[in-house]
Amino acid sequence: MDLYKGLAIGATTSLTDYPEPSLHLSLKTSSVMHLLSTKDFKVKEFFMDILHYAILSHTWEQKEVTYQDVQNLNIMKSKAGFLKVLGACSCVRQYHFDWIWIDLCCINKESSTELSEALNSMYQYYEDAAVCYVYLSDILGAYHP
């Protein structure tokens, strides 16, 4: 396990075993999906075909970044959870991902319709992602944010 990069890579698997991002399209997701730009932290809506994206699996902590926080970078940066978002974006950018889905900041929980749709689509989001990164907040070490 590479804790610095956040990757669990076995003896027979590495990221070089996966095709280039331009070869991956998700064709299964048919609803609106919000994705976070790994470059400028802006959320964009995607319809139908979702481009190559990564997804983050994690546990919720206190003072996480929300969909509303992402609308204002200064507020976003003031949250303790910003380090998790920043670290995830930095990690996936190294592997040429421009987009990431993080439930905290990609679901507008103030909209009951959107919340319900996202919860019902979550399995599909994970299945359609090119790669899933896992953030283990209880693992201590030099590379923990």
| pLDDT band for position 64 (cuts 50, 70, 90) | very high
pLDDT bucket at 48, cuts 50 / 70 / 90? low
Q: Where are the domains of the chain?
A: 26-134
pLDDT digits (tens, 9 = 90+) for 90-110: 999 999 999 999 999 999 999
Contact yes or no for 35/41 (Cβ under 8 A): no
In the predicted model, what is the mean pLDDT of the chain? Answer: 80
Are 52 and 25 contacting, i.e. CB atoms less than 8 angstroms apart? Answer: yes
How many other CB atoms sit within 10 Å of the CB of residue 97? 24
Q: What is the pTM of this model?
A: 0.75
Residue 86, SS3? helix
Q: Which of 21-25, 60-64, 98-102, 122-126 has the lowest mean pLDDT?
A: 21-25
Which residues touch 18 (CB under 8 Å, ≥6 apart)?
130, 131
| DSSP 8-state assignment for residue 48 | S
pLDDT tens digit sequence for 10-24: 334 445 444 444 434
**pLDDT confidence tier of residue 141, bands split at 50, 70 and 90:** low
Q: Give Cα separations from 10 to 7, 17, 32, 101 (angstroms).
A: 9, 12, 34, 24
CA 25, CA 78: separation in Å to the nearest integer?
34
